[in-house]
Amino acid sequence: MKAAHAPRRTVLRATAASLAASVALLGFTACTGGGGGGSLSGKGDAVTLTVPTSQAPWNPAYDKLIQEYQKETGNRINLRPFPNPDVKTQEVNDVQSQSHTFDVYQINEQDLVQFNENGWIQPFTDVDPSYKPDDSIYSYSNVGRWNADKKIFDSSGELTNLPILGNVDIFVYRTDVYKKLGLEVPTTWDQMIANGKKIQESGDLKYGGVYRTQGVPGTYSTTFEFQSLLNGAGGAWFKDPGTDWTPTADSSEAVLAATRFRELAKQGPAATTTIGQAQAIAAMQAGDAGQTYMVAAAAAQLESESDSSVAGKVGFAPLPPTPAGTSSSATGLWSLAIPSGLPKARAKAALEFITWITSAKAQTLFAQAGGIPVREEAYSASDLPKGSEQALAAVKETAAGLPDDPTSLRFSFSTQMLNFTEPDLQQIAAGKVSPEEGMKKIQQQLEALIQKEGLPTS
């Protein structure tokens, strides 16, 4: 298995001067059609850009960014929200028909491989050869850099997208219960399991912990939560993605992760197959559970005085690290990209929009409005929403400690893989099969899938 990299702050490298230079090069005149060219410096006519987005809890924060962008540039953004799965459908239809309805694509992390591999989005340097991102944007294990030869994301790849939402998994716990029972915030996965058992045995709450254990074939649900456990045990789905695609789902590390998954599931409701993300959040909001781990975007719901009975009683922390000391969290990002075939002037306007949205000013505003920023300095912003400081600190530490190699599914065959990992991991969590049996079954299916894909193995 490929060795993990030492922990470090992985950020997209460039200089402020190069960023300023790239922005200065983006002055041009407007074009007709669904979008147009524009300029932050005011050297071009005001334009309208059409941008799709998901219907998500962070939309109000995104709206504030859009309003500020329009105010500052004079351009208009036609922000078109769709249900989460429909965002991809709309964009695929758009690029395949070459109707150019959209000037910017918003892409879920798990779909980035498909968009890159099919050539549906274009490298930023195709729009502006001198463009480089600034150095305060976290790389999230090189999520923006696509290596077309290896079909993976790594530091040598071309920049084809930038993250807009820095969502990661973080640990969530009841501070009052932890204090009463004398528990320490876990620094290992075994300690997390032990804490949950102590809460469960105390009888203070209905459950020691509640976790997402409901499998939904083809979606990144239970597999997403298991991913953090797999990372935390030092395991991986494949030996060396990009070079050696030999599956390793039956390794001792992967079986350990599955064993921990079952132990955590036992601390929650007996009907483990009914616990999705919404149910896990609701259990925490109702005061039924002592701990969990989930996407950081859920923090606002837990701290909402109108929606949560535990507001002000919830603590947040990074998940226990990998054996190599890097962040074990799975990432659940949304990125912005430029459609292929978009007229040149509109592509430049799209690049300028993405540059502004990921700027220090915009991302600071995003954090203040309740979003999860992708830039380092935005986490130190003043006037952050009440109760969000600790959650954002956990996110920042997680983002800064991610390894170079991706910690989430970024494969062209991810959907096919999720068709069997979701139900099989659900069975493991429910205790219907042993961790060894469940992971062996996943291993066999991965081997068949890799063979079908024609990828090299050792």
Per residue in 230-285, pLDDT tens? 999 999 999 999 999 999 999 999 999 999 999 999 999 999 999 999 999 999 99
Q: How far apart are CA 335 and CA 355, in angstroms?
A: 12
Q: What is the mean pLDDT of residues 56-75?
A: 94
Please report the pLDDT score of residue 44 as a whole number.
58
Write down the pLDDT at residue 94. Answer: 97
Residues 80-108, mean pLDDT to the nearest whole number: 95
> pLDDT tens, 157-209?
999 999 999 999 999 999 999 999 999 999 999 999 999 999 999 999 999 99
Residue 87 has what pLDDT?
A: 95
SS (H, E, C) 162-216: EEEECCEEEEEEEHHHHHHHCCCCCCCHHHHHHHHHHHHHHCCCCECCCCCCCCC
- CA distance linking residue 30 with residue 439, whole number of Å: 56
What is the pLDDT at residue 36? 40
The residue with greater pLDDT, 46 or 421, is 421
Q: Angle, to 10 degrees, between the axis of helix 252-265 and the axis of helix 435-453?
A: 130
Give the pLDDT mean for 22-33: 32
Is the sign of the CA dihedral 82, 285, 163, 214 positive or negative? negative
Residue-wise pLDDT tens digits, 394-416: 999 999 999 999 999 999 999 99
What is the token pair recorded at 62? 């995104």
Tokens of 22: 């790239």
Supply the Cα-derived Rg of the chain in whole angstroms: 22
The partner residues of 48 in beta bridges, in order of sequence, read 76
- Decide: helix, strand or coil at residue 355: helix
User: For residue 19, which of 165, 167, 159 has the smallest C-alpha distance?
Assistant: 159
**Residue 294 forms beta bridges with which residues?**
170
- pLDDT per residue over 427-442, tens digit each? 999 999 999 999 999 9
Q: Taking residues 41-67, what's their average pLDDT?
A: 86
Q: Which two tokens stand for residue 388?
A: 């969000």
In angstroms, the Cα distances linking 404 to 50, 257, 351 are 33, 21, 25
Flag whether pLDDT at 104 surpasses 60.
Answer: yes
pLDDT at 56: 86
Strand, helix or coil at 351? helix
Instruction: Decide: 4 and 322 in contact? Cβ < 8 Å.
Output: yes
Helix (H, G, I), strand (E, B) or coil at 36: coil
Average pLDDT score over the chain: 90
Per the rule left: phi > 0, alpha: psi between -120 and 50, beta: everything else, 160 is: alpha
Residue 96: the pLDDT is 94
pLDDT-derived band at 132, boundaries 50, 70, 90 = confident
Query: Phi and psi for 317 in degrees, rounded to 5?
Result: -155, 160
In single-letter form, the type of residue at position 176 comes to D
pLDDT value at residue 314: 97
pTM reported for the whole predicted model: 0.87
Q: What is the pLDDT of residues 337-387, one digit of tens each?
A: 999 999 999 999 999 999 999 999 999 999 999 999 999 999 999 999 888
Contacts 24+ apart (CB under 8 A), 429-437: 429/211, 429/213, 429/222, 429/261, 429/262, 429/265, 429/272, 430/213, 430/265, 430/272, 430/273, 431/262, 431/265, 431/266, 431/272, 435/255, 435/258, 435/259, 435/261, 435/262, 436/250, 436/255, 436/258
Phi, psi of 146 (to 5 degrees): -100, 120
The structure tokens listed for 42 are: 């005011």
Q: Confidence band (pLDDT; 50, 70, 90) for 28?
A: very low
Q: Is the pLDDT of residue 26 over 90?
A: no
